[in-house]
Amino acid sequence: MKLIRLTTGLIILCLSVMAQANEDAGHYQVITPSVATDNPNKVEVVELFWYTCPHCYNFNQKYLKAWLKQKPSYVEFVLMPAVYNLSPNQTVFAKAFYTAEALGVLDKVHEPIFNAIHKERRRINNQKALQELFAKYAGVSKADFDMVYNSFFTDLKVRRAKEMTSKYGIRGVPAVIVNGKYRLGAQITGGYKNLMEVLNHLIEKEYKAMSK
């Protein structure tokens, strides 16, 4: 009788674990093979986005900004423009992003680029318009902007973003990658509110695994 009860208990436990696994799996996708992270001492969270994507803009404004203010110290957050091909239309804003990063002014121009496109409805998908935006919000000279924007270093960063977009299996944005292992999107999680809940769950899961 004890053996039957024990066996029954084990079956119930296994079913419970399987049910939880299936529930979790319905809210994220596993990246196979996983992608190595740059900082093995922290849980890496990567957001892939487009400046021209209204969903990315809304996600940034309504969810991501608040989350960043209270993210755990053991989380390394990385922004990355998604790049599917190296056409001028695809790369202009990716080059602007890495130009801002290299010049140390990303915090000054990131939101103004979003706002110019989605609030002001301006067409800034060209080098001259971006020069003016960088000058207005970050005091970057035309010469400095052009030097970095047209550099081999920036082209290399854009090519790496294209490589990582492919490795992560990104088909749409915004997309969130947790520790190179899990892929999240609003369609997978059932909305952005759920996405943030699943994100926090996976962060804790990875942090506990790292702490063992």
Could you give the domains of the chain?
29-211 (3.40.30.10)
Q: Does residue 199 register a pLDDT over 50?
A: yes
Q: Does residue 24 register a pLDDT over 70?
A: no
Give the pTM: 0.87
67: exposed, middle or buried (Cβ count in 10 Å: 0-12, 13-18, 19+): middle
Q: Among residues 181, 159, 212, 160, which one has the least CA distance to residue 45? A: 181
For the chain, the average pLDDT equals: 90
11-25 average pLDDT score = 39
Q: CA angle, 126 as apex, 123 and 131 as ends, to 5°?
A: 100
Alpha carbons 145 and 140: distance in angstroms, whole number = 6
Q: Among residues 156, 40, 176, 48, which one has the least CA distance to residue 102? A: 156
Are 108 and 134 contacting, i.e. CB atoms less than 8 angstroms apart?
no
What token pair was written down for 201? 């769950």
Kindly report, residue by residue over 94-131, the tens digit of the pLDDT. 999 999 999 999 999 999 999 999 999 999 999 999 99
Are 130 and 103 contacting, i.e. CB atoms less than 8 angstroms apart?
no
| pLDDT number for residue 26 | 61
| pLDDT number for residue 4 | 45
- Under the banding of pLDDT at 50, 70 and 90, the label for residue 17 is very low
Looking up tokens 């849980």 gives 43
Q: Does residue 172 register a pLDDT over 70?
A: yes
